[in-house]
Amino acid sequence: MTEFLNNILFLLQRFNWSDVLDIFLVTVVFSSILILLRDTEAMVLLRGVFLIIVLLSLLTSLVDMPAFSWLFSTLMPTLVFAIPVIFAPEIRRALERVGRASNISFLRRTSSLAIREEIEKALQAIVKAAGRLSKRHHGALIVLQRGQYMTEYIKTGVPLNAEVTPELLLQIFYPNTPLHDGSVIIADNRVKAASCVMPLSASGVLNRSPERTMGLRHRAALGISEVSDAIAIVVSEETGNISIAHNGRLIRRLSTDRLLYTLPSLFFADEVPGEHKPLTRFLTFIKRLLQPNGKDKA
C-alpha cells in the first residue's frame, strides 16, 4: 500500500500544466468523435469493433497462443485502412460540419434594411402557403438556402426562378401535379427550382420514432439540414403537421404563428449586429462544431 501511494505521489509531482492540456485535448477529440457518431448506424458498428478488439486483446494476453497472437498483431494494422471505408459517410458528414462551423467571416455585416424586408416578405409568403397546405393536408417540402450555395441540388429539379408567392407554392404542391413530388428550393428571395432531389438522413432519429407519420419528406428535410446550413419546412400529407429541419434537428407540430416567429429567428441566426470580439467568434465555432446532432423536438 505504501509503495502504491509513493507511486501516486511521484506521478503528481511530475504533473504539470502541459499534462493537463494534453489530457484535455485528447478528451475533446474523443468526445467530438462520439458526439458526431451519436444517433448514427456507425455507433453500433463502432461498439462491435471495440468489443471484438477488447476480447481478442484479453484472449491473447491471458492465454499463450503464439500463432493466434501473431495473426492478431498482423491483422490489427489493416484496421487503419478499413476505418475510412467503413465510416466514409460519417467522416464526410463530420468534415462538412467542420466546414460549416468554420465559415465565420470577421468582416461580415448585417443585411441592409431593404434586403431584410424582402427576405421577411418572402418568409411571410412561405408561412402563409405552409398554413394553407397544412389545412388541405397537401404534403410539401420547402428548402431555404442560407449561406451555403445549393447549386448541385437545384440542378436536380426543374428551374423556375419565380417570385415567392403562396399561390405558386400551393400550385406546385397540389397533388398529382408534375412538380409536387420533391422539394422546392428558395434562394435570393426567388423560387429557383421545384421537384428537386434531397439527400436522405442517415442519423437514425426517425427510425426510433414510434410514429409512422414521418416519411421520406421528413427524412429528406433532415438530410439536407445535416449536409448544409439550409432550413427545410415540411408539411405532412397524413396529419397536416408543419415541421422545421435545421442543423440536423427537427422541430415538429408548429402552428402558423409559431412558424412565423421561428422561421426568421433561424434564418437570421448568423446575423451579427455590430462587431463581435474574436473570442466570441471562436467560442461560437467550438459550440457549433460540438453541437449534438439529430435531436428531435416535439
Specify the amino acid at residue 125. A
Residue 131 confidence (pLDDT) = 94
Same-domain pairing of 223 and 148: yes
87 in any annotated domain: yes
6 in any annotated domain: yes
Same-domain pairing of 165 and 185: yes
Q: Domain ends where: 101, 136, 160?
A: 101
Q: Distance between CA 5 and CA 9 in Å, rounded?
A: 6
162 in any annotated domain: yes
Same-domain pairing of 37 and 128: no
Same-domain pairing of 52 and 125: no
CATH code at 203?
A: 3.40.1700.10
Residue 295 in this model has a pLDDT that exceeds 50 = no
Same-domain pairing of 126 and 267: yes
96 in any annotated domain: yes
Same-domain pairing of 43 and 117: no
- Count of domains for the chain: 2
Same-domain pairing of 43 and 165: no
Q: What is the pLDDT of residues 151-160, one digit of tens each?
A: 889 999 999 9
User: What's the first-to-final CA gap in the chain, in angstroms?
Assistant: 55
Its domain, for residue 12, covers: 2-101
Q: What is the pLDDT of residues 174-228, one digit of tens each?
A: 998 989 889 999 998 899 999 999 988 876 666 555 555 568 889 999 889 888 8
107 in any annotated domain: no
Residue 173 confidence (pLDDT) = 94
Q: What is the pLDDT of residues 48-70, one digit of tens each?
A: 777 877 887 777 777 777 887 78
175 in any annotated domain: yes
Same-domain pairing of 118 and 77: no
Residue 47 confidence (pLDDT) = 72
Q: Domain ends where: 101, 134, 160?
A: 101
Which burial class, exposed, middle or buried, applies to 45 when counting CB atoms under 10 A from its CB (0-12, 13-18, 19+)? middle
Same-domain pairing of 65 and 118: no
56 in any annotated domain: yes
Largest Cα span, the chain = 82
Q: What's the average model confidence in pLDDT over 253-270?
A: 86
Residue 276 in this model has a pLDDT that exceeds 50 = no
**Ranges of H-type helices in the chain:** 2-13, 17-37, 41-62, 66-75, 78-86, 88-101, 113-136, 151-154, 166-172, 216-227, 256-267, 278-289
195 in any annotated domain: yes
Same-domain pairing of 141 and 225: yes
Range of weakest confidence among 40-44, 53-57, 72-76? 40-44
Same-domain pairing of 180 and 160: yes
Question: What is the bridge-based pairing of β-strands 140-144 and 158-163?
Answer: unpaired
Q: Domain ends where: 44, 75, 101?
A: 101
Same-domain pairing of 174 and 71: no
